[in-house]
Amino acid sequence: MTKPGSIASSASAPGSAPRAVIRLSGDLTDFQPLFDETIERSRGARFVTMKLGEARLRAMIAVTVAPNSYTGEDSIDLFIPGGSAVVSRALREIIALPGVRQADAGEFTARAYTNGKLTIDQAKAVAATIAAENEAELAEVNRLMSQSLGEKATGWASEVSECLALVEAGIDFADQEDVVAIEPKALSDRLALVLGEIGGFVSGEKPRESRADVPRVVLAGRPSAGKSTLFNALVGKRRSVVDEAPGTTRDAIAEIVQLPGGSKVELVDLAGLEDIADDGLSRAISKRTASEIEAADAVLHCDPNGTFEDELPGAQSALRVRTKADLPIAHESRADVDVCALDGWHLDDLRSEIARAAGLAGPSAGGVIAARIDSALREAMAHMQSAQGLAQAKESQWELIAGELRLALDELGVISGRIDPDEVLGLIFQTFCIGK
């Protein structure tokens, strides 16, 4: 999965600082044109003169040579004055060199993994430590790491493989009546042991898979605030009726929306909040709207004025969204996000904010990895349970049992890194910050 070429990236936080570090990895000769001096292929720190077009910059470099560097390749840590203009200029010069390109997110660590410098658990720990956004997330990642789940999953996978081998042997010798590779009961018992162990690892919370378990995010606000227009823009189709007349939406309309980082929410367009007219229908609509707001996991308070003076009935904290941001307002917006659903302005920002407001991990490595591991374990368990069920049936269907065991193995392989490393690797390394 790693692309060839030498790579470079700033390893410092954005902004100015006394010193900045740029990391380079790959082939030292690719980087040689950057410097007046010849860069010896030997470990150590030295002062050099760096070329920035006609200008010259004194810099310090720390060279590590393959295979003893972080990436396992020849590497240079380049220390330069930390002004952000200098850093971006230097990076531009570096990635303009033939054979050198900007590193992808996580690429240094991906290379370390491919070059055998890190185990998958260690690579995940790097990802997680960089990205863990809060204490709870870090604790979750630590829980997974400290129990060296990779090793355990390998153990479970080898037990399941053994069962599979026996089942397949049974199928191969099905015509020889006296050969029984594994009795259904024995198979079921062996799987039960593994299931018991895996069960201890999956988190207590149910996975958010079924539609009902996806967080519900409602759009609330005055009539004609632009809720339905925003809803349609986020959903990507004209699902809700839009009209200039206030009071267009009368009922709750729900659609699943994909968010950055692979998470999903159920977005709900609601009727506008009005002073309740004294008729049965209006009251019923208001009641429905209020109960949707109260039950929601997150509320998007839509207000084209950006003042958010309306009280939302029973809502916990709401994300303040100024709609119709193409229309000027005479005061400063007090919104968390200003959007225009007509041309899509800031809708990506809004999507990220929705993920955060709905309590989804979003695109951070810790959450994504923990969720992926959890879902792989659950899937593996489900397949093993089906295999048990099939084994206990009157006529054991060995072909189907073998199929289920193979699927369980695929899932466990996601964690042990043996069978389907690419997918999980891609996931891990993409969630890194660039420069790691």
Ligand X SMILES: Nc1nc2c(ncn2[C@@H]2O[C@H](COP(=O)(O)OP(=O)(O)OP(=O)(O)O)[C@@H](O)[C@H]2O)c(=O)[nH]1
User: Which residues contact ligand X (rule: CB under 6 A)?
Assistant: 223-229, 242-244, 246-249, 271-272, 323-324, 326-327, 340-342
Part in contact with Mg ion (CB under 5 A); list of ranges 52-60, 106-114, 223-231, 346-354? 223-231
DSSP-based three-state secondary structure for 172:
helix
Q: Residue 197 or residue 326: which is nearer to ligand X going by CB?
A: 326
Q: Residue 23 or residue 227: which is nearer to Mg ion going by CB?
A: 227
Q: Residue 89 or residue 239: which is nearer to ligand X going by CB?
A: 239
Backbone angles phi, psi at 7, to 5 degrees: -125, 155
Binding mask 239-258 for Mg ion (x = CB under 5 A): ---------xx---------
Size of interface with Mg ion, in residues (CB under 5 A)? 4
Q: Quick one: DSSP state of residue 340?
A: B
Establish if 64 lies at the interface with Mg ion (CB under 5 A): no
> Residue type at 362?
G
Q: Residue 215 or residue 272: which is nearer to ligand X going by CB?
A: 272
Query: What's the distance, Cα to Cα, between the start and end of the chain in Å?
Result: 16
Part in contact with Mg ion (CB under 5 A); list of ranges 79-87, 203-211, 222-230, 407-415? 222-230
* Footprint of Mg ion on 332-351 (CB under 5 A): none
Part in contact with Mg ion (CB under 5 A); list of ranges 24-32, 115-123, 221-229, 354-362? 221-229
Establish if 224 lies at the interface with Mg ion (CB under 5 A): no
> Residue type at 414?
V
Tokens of 119: 């185990």
Establish if 69 lies at the interface with Mg ion (CB under 5 A): no
d(CA 364, CA 104): 16
- For residue 301, the minimal CB distance to ligand X (Å) is 12
Q: Are strands 298-302 and 264-269 parallel, antiparallel or unpaired?
A: unpaired
- For residue 230, the minimal CB distance to ligand X (Å) is 7
> Per residue in 119-142, is it b (16+ CB within 10 Å) or e — as a string?
ebbebbbbbbebbbeeeebeebbe
Cβ–Cβ under 8 Å, residues 361 and 137: yes
With CB under 5 to 8 Å by kind, the binding choice for 341 among Mg ion, ligand X, none is: ligand X
With CB under 5 to 8 Å by kind, the binding choice for 419 among Mg ion, ligand X, none is: none
Establish if 229 lies at the interface with Mg ion (CB under 5 A): no
Establish if 416 lies at the interface with Mg ion (CB under 5 A): no
Cβ–Cβ under 8 Å, residues 390 and 396: yes
- For residue 231, the minimal CB distance to Mg ion (Å) is 7
Establish if 232 lies at the interface with Mg ion (CB under 5 A): no
Establish if 286 lies at the interface with Mg ion (CB under 5 A): no
Please report where in the chains the tokens 């990642």 appear, as a residue: 141
> Omega into 67 within 30° of 0, i.e. cis?
yes
DSSP-based three-state secondary structure for 338:
strand
Q: Residue 223 or residue 262: which is nearer to ligand X going by CB?
A: 223
Contacts of 402 (CB under 8 A, 6+ apart): 164, 167, 168, 171
d(CA 297, CA 355): 11
Which chain residues interact with Mg ion by CB under 5 A? 227-228, 248-249
